[in-house]
Chain A
Amino acid sequence: MEISRRVFVKSGAMAMVSLGFAPSFLARAAEGATTRTKLLIAIFQRGAVDGLNMVVPYGEADYYKLRPTIAIPRPGEAEGGVDLDGFFALHPRMEALKPLWDNSALAIVHACGSPDQTRSHFDAQDYMETATPGIKSTRDGWLNRCLQSIGSDTSPLRGVALTRQMPRSLQGHAPTLAVGNVDQFNVRGGMDAERQLETAFAGSSDSLLNGSAKSAFEAMRTLRGSTSGPYTPRAGVEYPRSPFGQALQEIARIAKADVGLEIAFAEATNWDHHVAEGGTQGQIAQRLDDFARGLSALAADLGERLSDTVILTMSEFGRAVAENGNRGTDHGHGNAMLLVGGPVKGKKVYGKWPGLGADQRFEGRDLAVTTDFRDVFAEVATRHLSLSTEAMGRVFPRYASAGPIGLIRV
């Protein structure tokens, strides 16, 4: 076991120099360059972020009553939140997003969530990623169904997750790619080894092996031709050096390489703060700092490309309104989603605010849900990705839209 990581990386870089033939979809992507595709970047905050400390309803007296040790002070007070509209404030460590808000490029949907009441992380993530709350038999993800419906191209680079495992959102018939890092996405051992393996997988009767390998080799050739060399973000842009920040940087890199990226996916983890969640300092503050600086860097790095990009954040459910016995929060219900981008009608907190009073809470304990998360998904899919009305039923089965919220420009 003498092979070191350094050798691995080095030979990967060398392999990138040799170019393969360009697959057909690359030519198509080049043709379509004048009508550049819309881009959706979906970000999953796994573990259920505390939406009430992320987008703080500081106008609610109950917020402060029920969170004696973890509440975020009102704007203007020491370490207070970043005021948005006189009622809501961003967590103070999310200040990096304020310029986007001021430019009307950031919108928030609060008290948003699932019609299903599960407090299981696993189920709730599944329901959100399949966009079929309450139905466990759904095999594919809503983002994959979007890809199936908004185009017929089979390039795996239309849908890319910067994760080591394929997220449920992107699983399905449309070829997609999950890759931890672009530079490591190369077969070692030279072109002969690569062709031998490609042939072997092409001959496999197992559709999962066959299809995944086909996507891999196609994407590898395309990326090799378009992203070689170290990536430099736009001047002045600094991504957090966290896994989340690095994943976002890779998304910008692939987006700017113009290889036909339509839907990208990344995740921010570690939000399940049952103990010592913290308020303006501590665990959640650190996580939100990473989160906000990452989003802000991505928006800045995309530059002009942001004009046809929507960044959408989501989390499986919110957390209980009252802090628990360990200065943390237990699993709750409603939460907040963020939308960033040129097509976003920003500088507004959308959704009917249900209040935090005892009789206003869901089951007496959680933020009630007044906006179905699918209302947000559906509007992004139809207005931004131009999903047709006919395809709506396939992407969002058993869902009747309550009409657009109006957060994406027509």
Chain B
Amino acid sequence: MRTHMRAIAAGFVVLLAVVTTGSTTPAASIPSDRGAVEHALNRLTFGPRSGDVERVQKMGLSAWIDQQLTPSRIDDSALASHLPAIPAKPATVNSPQEARRYGREAVQVLAAQKVMRAIYSDRQLEEVLVDFWFNHFNVFAGKGRTSQFIPEYEREAIRPHVLGKFRDLLEATAKSPAMLFYLDNWLSADPEAAERLAAQRKQRLGARGQQPPNAQQRRRGLNENYGRELLELHTLGVDGGYTQEDVIEVARAFTGWTIGPPEAPRGRGRLNGGRRARVGAQTQPAMDIDPGNAQFRFMPALHDTGAKTILGQHIKSGGGMDDGERVLDIVAAHPSTAKHIATKLVRRFVSDDPPAALVDRVAARFRETDGDLREVVRAVITSPEFFSAEARRAKMKTPLEFVTSAVRATGRDVTDAMPLLNALRQLGMAPYMCQPPTGYDDVAETWITAGALVTRMNVAQQIAGAQRASTIGGPEFQKR
């Protein structure tokens, strides 16, 4: 393993000379003093454990950063034993209460897993980025049935893409039941299509009786919620140069992007242990389907097929699901998106007041790599600004960083995450429980307040015991 590393490290020097847009870390720009290693561990992990500084120094900071940027190279098999099992999705759900109970339990276990991963995973940067990107594409477990979709949202939409292409990450969230539900797009429909459908249903059902109630009546027209947050929060940013018209046009493009059961095999009337799949299920809403079955579906009958103009770009009439995909192309490639993402990453890793020159360079990297997040993150964390004296110890820990870094610093063995989750709740940062789509804040003023410091002091007692409480609860440990 070590030989392998050395070979790679040697390779950098060669690459550095000949490649300008290569994907390796320019070792020369990375300092290797102990302070730099401590700084990197503070920013790129959930806090150093005893011995981490020495281990990274021995390996070389540059090589360690490269390794963290390629988590598949890191054996993380020991993590599994620390993770409580997420309850299996129920094969059938007999009542909304049962579905809600499943959602609650699943998210509670997922929250415990999140804390355990932060403490025990050796793929620390990946965990930091999963937290970052979940928060960027925030969904709230407290809204309706969102919670039932959150474990797969993190596992399938967020985690695989945090070091991949931004466009893929964006699409995965756009098509996730969690996001579709949380920001209401699953109910958004072309108003005319909705009327048309209602008439068809009436004709089809005739005197046989009514539809399952609420859902049918709810899906009647356009909902702007997702369209707006896609532009404001996920991509361009609030000052990214879009208008209310753009919001409406985006919302129109995404009509028909909804949640449904898997396509029923032809001629089969049964699905999921007894629930009946209706013929023509693509025109049916998903309100009465089981959470275990729900997935992204495009329902053409609900789509507004008219022409659209989004951020000055024309989308021809007659489109279908590709209208939404076209929007994702447009917004992912928009320069405001590069700048918005660069700003947030620099704020997370470097400073509450992101240095403009670094933001510009990182945004440029985003554009020239077509949103390759590994390279974008690399540009942030190998920059001179990242290692500058002003940046060191200049960020305050969020509650999640505080709690997990406290456990890592003390070396305590955690078997039950509940007390830690209680601490996070008291500190106002319960995992998956951030209600607004903006996600949790990433600046000191939000988290360092008189009330919060007292809670931190008490949490330090719980985690570190009386002996080390004054260190963990004290001023220096709040910084990272």
Contacts and interface: CB of A to CB of B under 8 A. Distances in A.
Interface of A: 1, 3-5, 8, 46-47, 69, 118-123, 156, 163-166, 171, 175-180, 184-189, 193, 196-197, 200-201, 203-204, 206, 208-210, 212-213, 215-216, 219-220, 269-270, 274-276, 324-328, 330-331, 363
B86 interface: no
B286 to A, nearest CB: 13
Contact of B218 (A178, A326, A330): A326
Given A177-B451, A325-B221, 19 more contacts: A1-B415, A47-B435, A119-B244, A156-B450, A179-B450, A179-B451, A179-B454, A186-B458, A189-B469, A197-B474, A201-B474, A208-B448, A209-B453, A212-B450, A275-B187, A276-B214, A324-B223, A325-B188, A326-B221
Interface stretch (B4-12, B26-34, B438-446): B438-446
B340 interface: no
Provide the main secondary structure of the chain B interface.
Answer: helix
Nearest to A190: B466
Given A1-B414, A120-B238, A213-B475, A187 B457 contact: yes
A154 to B, nearest CB: 12
Interface stretch (B313-321, B326-334, B372-380, B421-429): B421-429
Contact of B220 (A4, A216, A326): A326
Given A180-B426, A189-B461, A209-B478, A325 B219 contact: yes
B228 A119 contact: yes
A213 to B, nearest CB: 5
B185 to A, nearest CB: 10
Given A179-B450, A197-B457, A275-B187, A328 B223 contact: yes
A409 B426 CA distance: 40
Contacts of A324: 221-224
Interface in B462-480: 462-463, 466, 469-470, 473-476, 478-479
B448 A165 contact: no
Contact of B228 (A5, A120, A179): A120
B208 to A, nearest CB: 25
Contacts of B189: 325
Given A5-B422, A363-B244, A216 B454 contact: yes
B450 A206 contact: no
Contacts of A46: 436
Nearest to A160: B451
A333 B417 CA distance: 44
B277 interface: no
A1 B418 contact: yes
A330 B223 contact: yes
A201 B462 contact: no
Contacts of B451: 164, 166, 177-180, 185, 216
A352 B449 CA distance: 40
Contact of B475 (A156, A164, A209): A209
Contacts of B422: 5
Contacts, number: 174
A118 B238 CA distance: 9
B96 to A, nearest CB: 14
B428 A220 contact: no
Contacts of B475: 200-201, 203-204, 206, 209-210, 213
19 contacts: A1-B415, A1-B462, A5-B422, A121-B438, A164-B428, A165-B449, A166-B446, A178-B452, A180-B428, A187-B458, A193-B466, A197-B457, A197-B470, A204-B475, A210-B475, A212-B449, A274-B184, A324-B222, A325-B189
Nearest to B438: A122
B479 A325 contact: no
Contacts of A163: 428
Contact of A326 (B184, B244, B441, B450): B184
B164 interface: no
Contact of B222 (A177, A325, A327): A325
B427 A164 contact: yes
B90 interface: no
Looking at B232, B419, B474, the one whose CB has the most chain A CB atoms below 10 A away is B474
A11 to B, nearest CB: 9
A160 to B, nearest CB: 9
Nearest to A179: B451
Contacts of A166: 445-446, 449, 451
Looking at A118, A171, A206, A326, the one whose CB has the most chain B CB atoms below 10 A away is A326
Contacts of B221: 324-326
B181 to A, nearest CB: 10
Contact of A165 (B191, B428, B453): B428
Nearest to B226: A274
Given A122-B436, A166-B446, A213-B453, A200 B458 contact: no
B447 interface: yes
Interface string B394-424: 0010000000000000001011111110100
B455 interface: yes
Given A164-B426, A193-B470, A331 B224 contact: yes
A55 B287 CA distance: 32
A270 B155 CA distance: 27
B225 interface: yes
Contact of B219 (A180, A269, A326): A326
Sorted nearest first, the 3 A-B pairs with minimum C-beta distance are A325-B221, A164-B428, A216-B450
B238 A123 contact: yes
A196 B474 CA distance: 9
B217 interface: yes
B413 to A, nearest CB: 9
Contacts of B224: 274, 324, 330-331
A363 B457 CA distance: 51
Looking at B184, B189, B445, B449, the one whose CB has the most chain A CB atoms below 10 A away is B449
B458 A188 contact: yes
A184 B187 contact: no
Contacts of A328: 184, 223
Given A1-B419, A200-B470, A325-B188, A164 B454 contact: no
Nearest to A139: B445
B469 to A, nearest CB: 6
Contacts of B458: 8, 186-188
B41 interface: no
B194 interface: yes
Looking at A163, A210, A324, A325, the one whose CB has the most chain B CB atoms below 10 A away is A325
A219 B446 CA distance: 19
B436 A47 contact: yes
Contacts of A220: 454
Nearest to A202: B475
A104 B447 CA distance: 40
